[in-house]
């Protein structure tokens, strides 16, 4: 509908431009907005006020000229009037609303799809947690948000590629492998001081136990030997990272390449399988799992750094190779090759982004935890230095989620292994509630996730509120069958929908395509959540109004109301599906 009006206004203004009412070199960007007050009609256009200056005409007079150019016999426009400082208010006809019902019932699950994306490709990378432990509730938010955003973009006409980047090549993975080995040694009967900065979680024991079952004591070394060259002073000096590095080196030395890789791969494999299964059960699936190690295998990192070097964007200092990112807006330069010859994490990140660019996506979206925001300028700098347009990359930051049980805040600390996993969260509150709560808030807002509320089965809980509206409608249709009545849709009957409650529903329904476009454009699935709550509320209000029993004896009225609620149900289902929540028939 909005689209339709937009076309009419564009045409009207083009005609005025042709008549030299205002200069031709002015770009006319028509903005049609929903009015806040129904007395101002359905849509308002402020073009007259915006263009008044350029046209040297008073806003209200210009509005007059614009209206003259609008068709007078459009079946969707009831009237057009000028108001306030020069707003052009458009009032829609009932036919316009009835058409919405027809359209929804015809298009069904495809209703609300838009051409905003025009087939452009988008790669969206999200979660990408290090495979060093199970996903926690913070990752859950990124997962829910990323998946919903991907669905939203698909519906808005983009071709979407969802990707998980597996950080399986860095030092963290070595820490994991070493942690597993140390636990394994303990299972062999060794007594040792497990490093405080190793991975403490129980899952490390599980992996070690798995290996111990398969391999027995084959890789046992005595604890004193393992810690032989590792001076206690290091620990005393509290330099835990140095201790860790020494232990990693020691385990590689004692185990040899093949055996070390066994521990490394086992940990990776088990954890990755856990993550993958966890996400799948959360309803989050990917098109591709992209492994970081693939980059080093293919020398992509080296090539990317070479490319920077060739472009003259690097220099050597203190034995390290630096990327001059400050020349592209970063606050300081960054090391890409360390003194010891190893690439930094940033270096492989540059390579990964180069790889993304080379795959030719029109848009690249990264969803990161807000704590990574400091990386945004350097990654964009790298893209620019590599000769690409940094605007192709959009980095969306998601704030962390704090868990509450009622008033009590639950502690979260990843390193110590003291955290609530996504799996535990799902088991406690269920997938639907988890996804709803995650997406309910704007992503850059801190999220307080109340487990009690998410579990409650009352109207306090917005998940149930929306789902219940859907189930209630199913229930009406079940009742219809029980009474051996049938429903057929006929637009002619819709004029029987004349109460305020019914009109309110028609109005809310008509906004759906606009909400989809707006939410997709702003990358804000929470807009859709708010809309669905709104629609559910309008429905419950309608449903509970005692004058509005749906299955009335009057066949025409009954069919009209059934058409109306069938439409509501379709939109609820479409919206819930985008967010990744089920639409139950019974509750």
Contact positions with RNA (CB under 7 A) in 49-88? 49-50, 83-85, 87
**Does position 460 bind RNA by CB under 7 A?**
yes
User: Which positions ≥6 away from 258 have C-beta within 8 Å?
Assistant: none
Nearest to 52 by CA among 65, 42, 43, 41: 65
Nearest to 496 by CA among 551, 559, 544: 559
**Does position 507 bind RNA by CB under 7 A?**
no
User: Which positions ≥6 away from 206 have C-beta within 8 Å?
Assistant: 270
Site string for RNA, 96-135 (x = CB under 7 A): ----------------------------------x-----
**Does position 481 bind RNA by CB under 7 A?**
no
The angle that helices 526-544 and 431-440 make with each other, rounded to 10 degrees, is 110
One of 465, 487, 507, 523 touching RNA (CB under 7 A): 465
Residue placing its CB nearer to RNA in the complex, 371 or 427? 371
Tell me how long the chain is: 587
Nearest to 323 by CA among 333, 332, 312: 333
Residue placing its CB nearer to RNA in the complex, 161 or 313? 313
Residue placing its CB nearer to RNA in the complex, 83 or 230? 83
Task: Say if residues 582 and 521 touch (Cβ distance below 8 Å).
Answer: no
One of 191, 202, 360, 374 touching RNA (CB under 7 A): 374
Task: Say if residues 149 and 124 touch (Cβ distance below 8 Å).
Answer: yes
Residue placing its CB nearer to RNA in the complex, 83 or 254? 83
Nearest to 330 by CA among 373, 379, 372: 379
CA distance 191 to 183: 10
Structure tokens at 255: 């185990």
Q: Least separation, in Å, of the C-beta of 110 and RNA?
A: 25
Residue placing its CB nearer to RNA in the complex, 183 or 470? 470
In the block, tokens 């032989």 appear at 228
Judged by CB under 7 A, the chain residues 509 through 548 that form the site for RNA are 524, 526-527, 530, 533, 537, 540-541, 543-546, 548
**Does position 192 bind RNA by CB under 7 A?**
no
Task: Say if residues 290 and 349 touch (Cβ distance below 8 Å).
Answer: no
Q: What is the DSSP letter of 436?
A: H
**Does position 6 bind RNA by CB under 7 A?**
no
Task: Say if residues 133 and 414 touch (Cβ distance below 8 Å).
Answer: yes
Residue placing its CB nearer to RNA in the complex, 3 or 457? 457
Residue placing its CB nearer to RNA in the complex, 147 or 476? 476
Strands, sheet with 447-450, edge to edge from the N-terminal-most edge strand: 408-409, 401-405, 447-450
One of 46, 99, 128, 178 touching RNA (CB under 7 A): 46
Residue placing its CB nearer to RNA in the complex, 12 or 51? 51
One of 99, 128, 151, 167 touching RNA (CB under 7 A): 167
Kindly determine how many residues on this chain lie close enough to bind RNA according to the rule CB under 7 A: 81
Task: Say if residues 165 and 124 touch (Cβ distance below 8 Å).
Answer: no
**Does position 35 bind RNA by CB under 7 A?**
yes
Helix (H, G, I), strand (E, B) or coil at 43: strand
One of 447, 505, 506, 515 touching RNA (CB under 7 A): 447
Spacing of C-alpha 175 from chain mean position = 31
Task: Say if residues 316 and 288 touch (Cβ distance below 8 Å).
Answer: no
One of 345, 487, 507, 523 touching RNA (CB under 7 A): 345
Burial 89-100 (b: 16+ CB within 10 A, else e): bbbbeebbbbbb
Residue placing its CB nearer to RNA in the complex, 11 or 478? 478
Nearest to 108 by CA among 525, 583, 567: 567
User: Which positions ≥6 away from 569 have C-beta within 8 Å?
Assistant: 470, 473, 474, 583
Residue placing its CB nearer to RNA in the complex, 86 or 146? 86
Name the β-bridge partners of 315.
322
Q: Least separation, in Å, of the C-beta of 503 and RNA?
A: 14
Residue placing its CB nearer to RNA in the complex, 137 or 447? 447
Number of alpha carbons in the 13 Å side-chain half-sphere of residue 343: 21
Q: Least separation, in Å, of the C-beta of 374 and RNA?
A: 3
Nearest to 146 by CA among 462, 579, 522: 579
**Does position 94 bind RNA by CB under 7 A?**
no
Site string for RNA, 274-313 (x = CB under 7 A): ----------------------------------------
Site string for RNA, 311-340 (x = CB under 7 A): ------xxxx----------x---x--xxx
Residue placing its CB nearer to RNA in the complex, 60 or 221? 60
Name the β-bridge partners of 82.
88
Kindly indicate which of the ranges 219-227, 254-262, 278-286, 474-482 contains the residues binding RNA, using the contact rule CB under 7 A: 474-482
CA distance 214 to 195: 25
Judged by CB under 7 A, the chain residues 352 through 371 that form the site for RNA are 370-371
Q: Least separation, in Å, of the C-beta of 265 and RNA?
A: 17
Q: Least separation, in Å, of the C-beta of 327 and RNA?
A: 17
Residue placing its CB nearer to RNA in the complex, 58 or 113? 58
**Does position 500 bind RNA by CB under 7 A?**
no
- DSSP codes of every residue in 508-570: HHHHHHHHHHHHHHHT-THHHHHHHHHHHHHHHHHHH-GGG-SS-S-HHHHHHHHHHHHHHHH
Q: Least separation, in Å, of the C-beta of 209 and RNA?
A: 25
Kindly indicate which of the ranges 61-69, 114-122, 251-259, 464-472 contains the residues binding RNA, using the contact rule CB under 7 A: 464-472
Q: Least separation, in Å, of the C-beta of 121 and RNA?
A: 23
**Does position 40 bind RNA by CB under 7 A?**
yes
Structure tokens at 158: 């983009």
Residue placing its CB nearer to RNA in the complex, 537 or 556? 537
Q: Least separation, in Å, of the C-beta of 458 and RNA?
A: 5
**Does position 486 bind RNA by CB under 7 A?**
no
Judged by CB under 7 A, the chain residues 212 through 271 that form the site for RNA are none
């Amino acid at each position: 509908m909005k689209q339709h009006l937009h076309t009419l206004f564009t045409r009207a203004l083009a005609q005025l431009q042709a008549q030299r009412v205002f200069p031709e070199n002015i770009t006319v960007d028509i903005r049609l907005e929903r009015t806040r007050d129904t007395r101002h009609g359905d849509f308002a256009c402020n073009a007259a006020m915006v263009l008044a200056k350029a046209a040297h005409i008073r806003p209200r007079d210009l509005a007059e000229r614009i209206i003259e150019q609008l068709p007078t016999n459009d079946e969707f426009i009831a009237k057009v009037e000028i108001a306030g400082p020069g707003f052009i208010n458009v009032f829609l006809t009932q036919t316009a609303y009835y058409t919405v019902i027809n359209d929804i019932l015809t298009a069904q699950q495809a209703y609300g799809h838009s051409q905003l994306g025009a087939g452009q490709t988008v790669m969206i990378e999200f979660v990408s947690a290090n495979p060093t432990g199970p996903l926690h509730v913070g990752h859950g938010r990124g997962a829910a948000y990323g998946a919903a955003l991907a669905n939203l973009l698909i519906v808005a006409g983009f071709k979407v590629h969802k990707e998980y980047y597996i950080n399986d090549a860095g030092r963290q993975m070595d820490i994991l492998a070493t942690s597993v080995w140390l636990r394994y040694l303990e299972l062999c009967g060794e007594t040792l001081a497990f490093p405080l900065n190793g991975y403490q979680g129980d899952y490390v024991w599980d992996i070690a136990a798995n290996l111990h079952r398969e391999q027995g004591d084959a890789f046992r070394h005595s604890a004193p030997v393992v810690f032989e060259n590792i001076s206690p002073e290091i620990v005393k000096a509290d330099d835990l990272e140095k201790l860790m590095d020494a232990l990693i080196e020691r385990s590689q030395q004692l185990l040899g390449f093949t055996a070390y890789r066994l521990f490394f791969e086992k940990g990776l494999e088990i954890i990755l399988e856990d993550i993958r299964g966890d996400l799948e059960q959360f309803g989050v699936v990917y098109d591709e799992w992209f492994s970081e190690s693939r980059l080093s295998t293919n020398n992509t990192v080296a090539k990317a750094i070479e490319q920077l070097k060739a472009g003259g964007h690097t220099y050597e200092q203190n034995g390290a190779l630096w990327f001059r990112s400050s020349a592209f807006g970063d606050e300081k330069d960054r090391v890409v090759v360390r003194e010891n010859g190893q690439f930094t994490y940033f270096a492989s990140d540059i390579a990964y982004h180069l790889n993304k660019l080379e795959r030719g996506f029109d848009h690249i979206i990264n969803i990161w935890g807000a704590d990574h925001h400091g990386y945004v300028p350097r990654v964009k700098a790298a893209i620019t230095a590599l000769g690409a347009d940094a605007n192709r990359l959009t980095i969306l930051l998601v704030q962390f989620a704090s868990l509450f049980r009622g008033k009590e805040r639950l502690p979260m600390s990843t390193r110590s292994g003291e955290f609530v996993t996504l799996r535990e969260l799902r088991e406690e509150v269920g997938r639907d509630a988890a996804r709803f709560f995650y997406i309910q808030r704007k992503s850059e807002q801190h999220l307080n996730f109340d487990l009690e509320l998410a579990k409650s089965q009352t109207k306090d809980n917005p998940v149930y509120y929306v789902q219940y509206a859907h189930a209630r409608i199913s229930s009406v249709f079940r009742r219809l069958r029980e009474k051996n009545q049938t429903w057929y849709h006929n637009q002619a009957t819709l004029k029987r929908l004349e109460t305020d409650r019914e009109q309110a529903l028609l109005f809310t329904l008509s906004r759906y395509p606009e909400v989809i476009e707006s939410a997709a454009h702003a990358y804000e699935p929470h807009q859709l959540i708010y809309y669905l709550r709104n629609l559910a509320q309008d429905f419950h209000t309608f449903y509970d109004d005692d004058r509005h029993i749906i299955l009335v004896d009057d066949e025409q009225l009954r069919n009209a109301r059934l058409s109306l609620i069938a439409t509501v149900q379709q939109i609820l289902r479409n919206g819930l599906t985008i967010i990744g929540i089920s639409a139950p028939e019974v509750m």
